[in-house]
Amino acid sequence: MVSHDEHLIVESVDELWVVSQGKAMPFHGNFQDHKKILYGSKGLEYFTKHITRLSYREKAKKDKEMIVADIQDVLTVIEANPFFA
């Protein structure tokens, strides 16, 4: 369910996910905790940093996967080339 209705959310969900900057992630806490973070003086800054940190982790993982694939390609070429045998 996707909703901005606080009463509906509080009364009907066991798990809260938050969508920000094109990403959905589980929120560890209840709706009131989320409101405190969102409307608190440091809340939005904290949430933005958390999303940014997750983005960097995802990019690092993708970069690592690309490097591994490149190394595998090079090894395949070396194994197939009689010059290196």
- Considering the domain boundaries, does residue 1 fall inside one? no
What are the tokens at 54?
A: 């997750």
pTM of the model: 0.41
What are the tokens at 56?
A: 């960097």
pLDDT tens-place string over residues 14-58? 888 888 778 888 888 888 887 777 777 566 666 677 677 777 778
Which residue type occupies 68? V
Structural domain containing residue 73: 6-84
Confidence (pLDDT) at 43: 62
Q: Evaluate if residue 72 carries a pLDDT over 70.
A: yes
- Considering the domain boundaries, does residue 40 fall inside one? yes
- Considering the domain boundaries, does residue 35 fall inside one? yes
Confidence (pLDDT) at 61: 85
Which sign, positive or negative, has the C-alpha torsion 1, 17, 65, 55?
A: positive
Domain count, the chain: 1
- Considering the domain boundaries, does residue 52 fall inside one? yes
**Residue 13: band (very low, low, confident or very high) from pLDDT cuts 50, 70, 90:** confident
Q: Between helices 43-80 and 31-39, what is the axis angle to 10°?
A: 100
